[in-house]
Structures are given as structure tokens and as C-alpha cells.
């Protein structure tokens, strides 16, 4: 599992991290749109052209770890136990997806300003919504594959879209009304429960 990296690979990783760190710092300091790619590259001590061999666009730096949450959720679904019903599986998947956002360790310090950028800069918000949307497709397909007898693909899509859609909007609206990151997360969690309860009620009419 643990590869020994050659000098080339190590240098590439270092450059990548330098670019990310420089970019985030500049974005936070002087704003996303006010920061140019040249400035980021200069701060990381590479040429502007090199930036684009690490990231396809300026936006991509912000979303460099965007697959963490979805990968966790997919793993949870893949590890379905024999007694798991679809709703429970979905519940656990979403929870572990949230966990990627709410990491307790020092990463929080890095993640919080990035989330703030994503929610306040329109082009980043759009990109974030796109990534989340595409993740939901993966999730719906995985959930359907995990429980083919319980949910067809359309139902799985409706369920996944409903739970995430509700959580997303509730969290965002709470933020817009002045909630702290923790309160925001809590609003998302409550909305998740709210919707999941609805799904449970609808999917178990006769016990």
C-alpha cells in the first residue's frame, strides 16, 4: 500500500501543495476574483504555465479535495450489511459524507475558509453545486445497485436527491441568516433527519 515515491513524484506533490496553499492564502487575503493565476504561480515559485499543468482551471484549486466526501459515502454503501435497508444505508452514507466536512482535527482550519469561499463567490458556488450534483448521481446509482429489490433507479434518485437537496438548502439558508459553521452543519443534519423520516414513513406503510 505505501509506495516509496521517487524524487520526481515528491517534487510534484510539493509543488501541488505549494500551489494550493498559495492560492487559498491569496483568495482569503484579497478575494478570489481579485487574485490572478500569475500571482498564485509566483507565490508558489513556478511559472504561470505550470499552474495549468497541475490544475485545469483556477476554480479547480478550490475543489482539490472534492471527492473525499463522495468517496466515503460510496464506501459506506458498498459495505452494506445483510440486514441494512436502503434508508438506513443512505442515512449512514450521508452522515459519513458530512464527516468529511466536519473533520475534528486541524484540517478544519483549512476547510472552513474554503467553504466560506465556495458559499460566497458565485462562480465557486455554481461549481460546487455541479460537483455535488454529479456526486448525487453516483450515489443514487450505487444505492440502487446495493438495494436493487427495494429501490429502482428512479426511486433511488428521488431519495438521494431529496435528502441531500433538503440538507443543502437548510444549511445554506441557515448560514445566510447568520449561523456559525457548527450551527450550519447542525441545520443540515436536522434537515437530513427530517427528510429521512419522511422517506421511512412513506416506505413502511404496513409494518
Partner DNA sequence: CCAGAAAACTACATCAAATGCAAAGTTACA
Partner DNA sequence: TGTAACTTTGCATTTGATGTAGTTTTCTGG
> Site residues (CB under 7 A) for DNA?
6-9, 11-12, 15, 35-38, 45-47, 49-50, 52-54, 56-59
Question: Which of DNA, a copy of itself, none binds 125 (CB below 5-8 Å, type-dependent)?
Answer: a copy of itself
Residue 159 near residue 143, CB atoms below 8 Å: yes
Which residue stretch of 7-15, 44-52, 63-71, 199-207 sits at the interface with a copy of itself (rule: CB under 8 A)? 199-207
CA distance 204 to 190: 21
User: Which bin fits 41, alpha (ψ -120 to 50), beta or left (φ > 0)?
Assistant: alpha
Which residue stretch of 25-33, 37-45, 102-110, 183-191 sits at the interface with a copy of itself (rule: CB under 8 A)? 183-191
Minimal distance, residue 117 CB to a copy of itself, in Å: 15
Binders of a copy of itself in range 118-157 (CB under 8 A): 122, 125-127, 129-130, 133, 136-137, 140-141, 153-155, 157
CA distance 104 to 64: 19
Helices then strands, each counted (H, E), the chain: 10, 0
Minimal distance, residue 39 CB to DNA, in Å: 8
Instruction: Compute the C-alpha angle 162/165/188, nearest 5°.
Output: 110
Amino acid at each position: 500500500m505505501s509506495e516509496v515515491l521517487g524524487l520526481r513524484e515528491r517534487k510534484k506533490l510539493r509543488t501541488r501543495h505549494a500551489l494550493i496553499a498559495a492560492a487559498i492564502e491569496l483568495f482569503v487575503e484579497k478575494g478570489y476574483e481579485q487574485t490572478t493565476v500569475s500571482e498564485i504561480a509566483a507565490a508558489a515559485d513556478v511559472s504561470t504555465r505550470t499552474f495549468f499543468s497541475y490544475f485545469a482551471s483556477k476554480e479547480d484549486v478550490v475543489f482539490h479535495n472534492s471527492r473525499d466526501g463522495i468517496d466515503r459515502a460510496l464506501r459506506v454503501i458498498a459495505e452494506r450489511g445483510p440486514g441494512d435497508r436502503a434508508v438506513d444505508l443512505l442515512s449512514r452514507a450521508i452522515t459519513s459524507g458530512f464527516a468529511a466536512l466536519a473533520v475534528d482535527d486541524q484540517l478544519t482550519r483549512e476547510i472552513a475558509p474554503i467553504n466560506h469561499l465556495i458559499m460566497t463567490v458565485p462562480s465557486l458556488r455554481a461549481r460546487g453545486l455541479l460537483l455535488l450534483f454529479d456526486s448525487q448521481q453516483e450515489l443514487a446509482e450505487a444505492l440502487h445497485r446495493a438495494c436493487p429489490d427495494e429501490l429502482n433507479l428512479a426511486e433511488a434518485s428521488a431519495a438521494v436527491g431529496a435528502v441531500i437537496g433538503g440538507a443543502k438548502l437548510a444549511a445554506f439558508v441557515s448560514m445566510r441568516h447568520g449561523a456559525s459553521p457548527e450551527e450550519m452543519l447542525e441545520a443540515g443534519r436536522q434537515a437530513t433527519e427530517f427528510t429521512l423520516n419522511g422517506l421511512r414513513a412513506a416506505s413502511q406503510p404496513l409494518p
